[in-house]
Amino acid sequence: MRRKAAVVGGGVIGAGWAARFLLMGWDVAVADPDPEAPRKVGEVLANARAALPGLHDVALPDEGRLSVGTSLAEAVAGAEWVVEAVPERLELKHRVYAEIQRHAPRALIGSSTSGFRPSELQENAADPARILVTHPFNPVYLLPLAELVPSPANPPEVVEQARAVLTGIGMHPLLVRKEIDAHIADRFLEAVWREALWLVKDGVATTEEIDDAIRYGFGLRWAQMGLFETYRIAGGEAGMRHFIAQFGPCLKWPWTKLTDVPELTDELVETIAAQSDAQSGAFTIRELERIRDRNLVGILRSLKGYAADPRDGWGAGRLLREHDARIGRPAPDLSGPILTGARAVPLDWTDYNGHMNEARYLQAFGDATDRFMEIVGCDADYIATGGSFFTAETHIRHLGEVHAGERIEIRTQLLGAEGKRMHLWHEMRAGGALKATGEHMLIHVSLATRRPSPPGETVAARLAEVWAAHARLPRPEGAGRAVGAPR
């Protein structure tokens, strides 16, 4: 029997909670008086279905059943967990809790409030022990943080039950040890937000410039190491104590509008340094740097995007794409196999054996195919007219190891261009040695019908030009080779 969660409030946060519970196998009932709620929740769920399962390398549980209606009583009936995601009005929340506990007295109620303390939420409740704060971040179905904030009224077994539910749906329940307005994360956001407002008001920076300062710089570091671990690296081999000694005095300078700074007493310095040692002391600074670099490469390359459209990419990823375009590629030389790829192997292309994994060989050859398509005129503009080449067959030979940082070159020979077909041969070399070959058969397809179709005149003419040059080249060793055939 599936477990059931109820969501009271089908806005952005409530719909995100609903999507996460559903995709983790729970049945979910959403209560919201908005007649547009079914559409809004459905649209958020569609986004979650496209995104969340791809984070995992195992299949998620079968999706639960969803119902969306206006009756709170019907939604919470039989629910083990109730998400409260109504507007931030304390009197409204109190009314909602009273109704929930009338109809589902044994359910745990997790409030998504970003500011209220649990003791405020529990005032005059029939059972305050079963109400606590579980504050998420948007999109709830992707971001795993949930600030779990109990009060003295919540017994340990209730806190543990809430922690187990959140962990079970893939969240990271961060237990907030003391009640405090806005919990932990929003206090950081509030400080940054206040300073940003001052910078705009004083004419120092525009909203876009402030966003650039975050997304091109410290935001990328915070995404994978947070604040203290990032600053530990900044302290070098001497660690956190050295960082505080070096940069602590500047806190007394009036750099920001937020000038109420705690005194850096010996006791506070020692507390921070000791906690930093416990957090990160298992790694040397050089190891932390390598971990940081690998993480940053993965984040930046993800932001860069993978589509052929040059408008793809976001934030620092778009900057990388633009810089690639500025560096440019050499004009193709048709007299021999055409240079279709020249790059260093990224850190995130290697596997547990320390060399490039087989999926990345395919990606490298796929990128080379994309470049060859551009050369023959099958570029983004052509594809927008409704035609493209689809890969029908692929055969890759792995002939040598390639490691992170090595420069690889791929050259491509056209083995045939008859009618709708395009037959390509790729050779990958590093340090002059042949490391892999890739053979691909592609079929030109109408994107309107998804059926084979002749290429357009410009592409057909350009293919004929390349084929006229490459037909004179010797056939590569291994072309047409079956899997497992003698080399």
| 11 falls within a domain | yes
Task: Reply yes or no on whether the pLDDT at 309 is more than 70.
Answer: no
Report if residue 416 sits inside a domain: yes
pTM summary value: 0.77
Q: Is 268 contained in some domain? A: no
- The pLDDT score that the predictor gives to residue 394 is 96
Does residue 113 lie in a domain region?
yes
What pLDDT, on a 0 to 100 scale, did the predictor assign at position 243? 84
Per-residue pLDDT at 308 exceeds 60? no
- 124, 153, 175 — which closes off a domain? 175
Query: Residue 433 is part of a domain; what is its CATH number?
Result: 3.10.129.10
196 has pLDDT over 70:
yes
Average pLDDT, the chain: 91
Number of domains in the chain: 2
pLDDT-derived band at 265 (thresholds 50, 70, 90) equals: confident
Q: Is residue 188 part of a domain?
A: no
Choice between 234 and 431, residue whose per-residue pLDDT is larger: 431
Has residue 264 been placed in a domain? no
pLDDT at 352: 82
Listed residues 141, 175, 209: the one ending a domain: 175
Which candidate, 320, 327, 315, 328, places its Cα nearest to that of 346? 320
pLDDT at residue 330, as a whole number = 86
User: What percent of the chain is modeled with pLDDT above 70?
Assistant: 96
User: Quick check: is 357 in a domain?
Assistant: yes
* CB contact burial 146-179 (16+ within 10 A = b; e otherwise): bbbbbbebbeeebbebbbebbeebbbebbebeeb
- What is the per-residue pLDDT for 317? 82
Q: Are 40 and 34 in contact (CB under 8 A)?
A: yes
Q: What is the mean pLDDT of residues 144-167?
A: 97
Residue 450 pLDDT exceeds 90: yes
| 395 within a domain of the structure (yes/no) | yes
What are the pLDDT digits (tens) for 197-216?
Answer: 888 888 888 988 999 999 88
For residues 453 and 397, is the Cβ–Cβ distance under 8 A?
Answer: no
**CATH code for the domain in which residue 168 is found:** 3.40.50.720
Q: Of 42-51, 258-267, 306-315, which gets the smallest average pLDDT?
A: 306-315
Domain's final residue, options 175, 210, 245? 175
Q: Which of 23-32, 239-248, 410-419 has the lowest mean pLDDT?
A: 239-248
Check residue 261 and give its pLDDT.
65
Give residue for tokens 């504050």.
135
Q: Which domain holds residue 78?
A: 4-175
Q: Is pLDDT at 307 greater than 60 in this prediction?
A: no
Confidence band, pLDDT 50/70/90 cuts, at residue 254? low
pLDDT of residue 484: 79
Element housing 182 (H / E)? none
